[in-house]
Chains A and B, each alone.
Chain A
Amino acid sequence: MENYLANLGVLICVYSILAITLNFIMGYAGIFSLAHAVFFGFGAYTGGFIALNYTSSIFVTLPAAMIVAAVLSLLLAIPTLRVRGEYFVAASLGLQILAVTLFSEWKWFTGGIGGLVGIPPVSIFGTEIFRPTSFVIVTLVALVVTIAIFHLLVHSNFGRSLRAIRDSESAAAAFGKNVPVIKTVSLAISAALAGMVGALYASYLAFINVESFMLDTSVLIMAMVIIGGTGTQLGPIVGAIVLLSLPSAITYLNFLPQSEIGAIQQIIYGAGMALLMLFRPGGIVGSGGK
């Protein structure tokens, strides 16, 4: 039971970080990306690859994963940030589909469909951390650091520029904001931290394959942001907690036919999301929206 809860805690921290990083570009820069799992995935494969072949030190795997994810985000940003919202969504969807193919075919780096197996646990100053009860501390620290980074960013002049761009791109530019550069930098920061948590995730599970980084993961992260409250600081975390706890909570409802639990979950998700958007479009934490 202790391990079960710790494992849930790890997943909540991991997905909270993913939701926070996506919320940063969705809620503050107005960039709707359906490719967030790609950055998560590249971070995971990079971290896993390095841990398998070179070193599992967190001080190598995490920075490497961050750099790879950030550089990759530039590939998405440079051609597509010149276009507006809905085109970016389409472009990011394209990247997501492309990446899934790459993850399943690029055997040397990703292990192909079979994935990377036997990734060594995270090592901090030579101490290996693999038990869920200890690893949850690592992810909690990562979560706190992520929250702090984005809190500072959002309330800095960089954050104000971002929000100004979200509200009126042309006015922001007319007051000296270099819109493409600011959007690109925010995307790179967001991707880097998604990549970082990917590396943590890979070493925690010791096994990763393409199934963790497909479109449904991107959609799940986006759902966490929207349900929790886009553009709020607490929202993404609340969204992650709700969406990750619901499945376990539902399994405890004994009167439900256990064989149909999967379908019931989907119905509750779908109905819940539709009702939330109807009655509280700003999300659980949001101000109700307009």
Chain B
Amino acid sequence: MTMTETHTPENTHEDKEVLMELAGLGRSFGGVKAVDDVSMKLRAGIVTTLVGPNGAGKTTLFNLITGQLARDTGHITWLGRRIDRIRPHEAARLGMVRSFQDLRLFEKMTVEENIMTTFERSSLPRITTPAKRAERRAFIDRILERCALTDKRDTRASDLAYAERKFLSLARIIAAQGRLWLLDEPASGLDPQSYNRLLGIIREEVQTGVTVCIIEHNLDIVVGISDRIAFLDRGKLLADDTPQVVLNDPKLASIYFGER
């Protein structure tokens, strides 16, 4: 299927279940409001792109959601339940998985070990039966194949090429089997073939019910993947609507392209 089927202008996605709701989220750094009173809903199976100029607070918003940073104001609701003072590993266990702009791969571990680490829920040593092991192997094989990393299985992360590193970052996210993906510039620096593969993977996952929130600068990608676009500037959420509405707003365009 193509994404355009869901892209009718009047579609406000209100029929979809709310996975996460941000209410009045705020965080300051030394008097500067990096995120300022942001309220929005992330609905199940919807791709929202966070756009905005550099320093708009996009990554900070991710850090607030996943507990890497403590928030000054507001609260977050996950599946109708308020989650206060959540720590990063607890956020992950609820099903929020994120990527990092600087990737933060497990550099001295192999590609396969990187994937296995995020696949494993528990750190308690346990005996795995051969059947379980075969199942896990097949699961990892499939991820490697989708990310074009099959022949890099035993390569150390630090020895990978740039695009391979980006896909290993994505492979870790797939393996974590979360419900919400927070992707921080997953497509930056990718060649067209790689980025088509990236979009393909995201679309496949959305089909299975994953909710995605992407920080992205490339407007081609924004248009190609988004169900909704959320526009941030100087910490404030200026718009959260369908691509047609946001992209046709002359005021937002002038902010985005720096004509203040």
Q: Which of A's residues lie within 8 Å of B, judged by CB? A: 152-153, 156-158, 160-161, 163-164, 166-168, 170-179, 182, 231, 290
Query: B residues within 8 A CB of A153?
Result: 125
Interface-lining segment among B33-41, B86-94, B140-148, B209-217: B86-94
Q: Which of B87, B116, B123, B172 has a CB less than 8 Å from the CB of A182? A: B123
Contacts of A175 in B (CB 8 A): 89, 92, 97, 117-118, 172, 176
Across the interface, do A179 and B89 meet the contact criterion of CB distance under 8 Å? Answer: yes
Within 8 A of A (CB), among B103-143: 104-109, 113-114, 116-118, 120-126
Other A-B pairs, 7, CB within 8 Å; known A158-B123, A164-B109, A174-B100: A152-B125, A171-B105, A174-B97, A175-B172, A176-B89, A176-B92, A178-B123
Q: Which residue of B lies closest to A171 (CB)?
A: B104
Q: Give me the interface of B with A, judged by CB distance under 8 Å.
A: 66, 68, 87-89, 91-93, 97-98, 100, 104-109, 113-114, 116-118, 120-126, 158, 172, 176
The distance in angstroms between the C-alpha atoms of A167 and B172, with both chains bound, is: 14
Given contact pairs A157-B122, A173-B88, A175-B118, A167 touches B98 in the complex (Cβ within 8 A): no
Tell me whether A176 and B121 are in contact (CB under 8 A): yes
CB nearest neighbor in A for B92: A176
Output the residue of A157, A168, A171 with the most chain B CB within 10 A: A171
Residues of A with C-beta under 8 A to B114: 164
List 23 interface pairs A-B (beta carbons < 8 Å), by A numbering.
A156-B126, A157-B124, A157-B125, A158-B125, A163-B106, A163-B109, A163-B113, A164-B106, A167-B109, A168-B107, A170-B88, A170-B100, A172-B117, A174-B66, A174-B97, A174-B98, A174-B104, A175-B89, A176-B92, A176-B93, A177-B117, A177-B123, A179-B89
Q: A157-B124, A157-B125 are in contact. Are A170 and B68 (CB under 8 A)?
A: yes
B contact residues around A176 at 8 Å (CB): 89, 92-93, 118, 121, 176
Q: Which of A177, A179, A182: most chain B Cβ within 10 A?
A: A177
Residues of A within 8 A of B124 (CB): 157-158
B89 touches A160 (CB 8 A): no
Q: Is the CB of A290 within 8 A of B158?
A: yes
Q: Would you give the shortest CB distance from B175 to chain A, in whole angstroms?
A: 9
B97–A160 contact, CB under 8 A? no
Cα of A156 to Cα of B128 in the assembled complex, Å: 10
Least CB distance from B32 to A in Å reads 22
Q: In the complex the two chains form, what is the Cα distance from A172 to B97 in whole Å?
A: 11
Task: Give every chain A residue within 8 A of B125 (Cβ-Cβ).
Answer: 152-153, 156-158
Contacts of A290 in B (CB 8 A): 158
A157 touches B123 (CB 8 A): yes
How many angstroms between the C-alpha atoms of A178 and B97 in the bound complex?
15
List chain B residues, Cβ under 8 A from A171: 100, 104-106
Of A157, A175, A182, A231, which is in contact with the most chain B CB atoms at under 10 Å from its CB?
A175
Least Cβ–Cβ distance between A260 and chain B, in angstroms: 43
Nearest B residue (CB) for A152:
B125
A171-B106, A290-B158 as given contacts; A178 in contact with B89, CB under 8 Å = yes
Q: List the 5 closest pairs (A to B, CB-CB), nearest first.
A: A176-B92, A171-B104, A156-B125, A173-B88, A167-B106
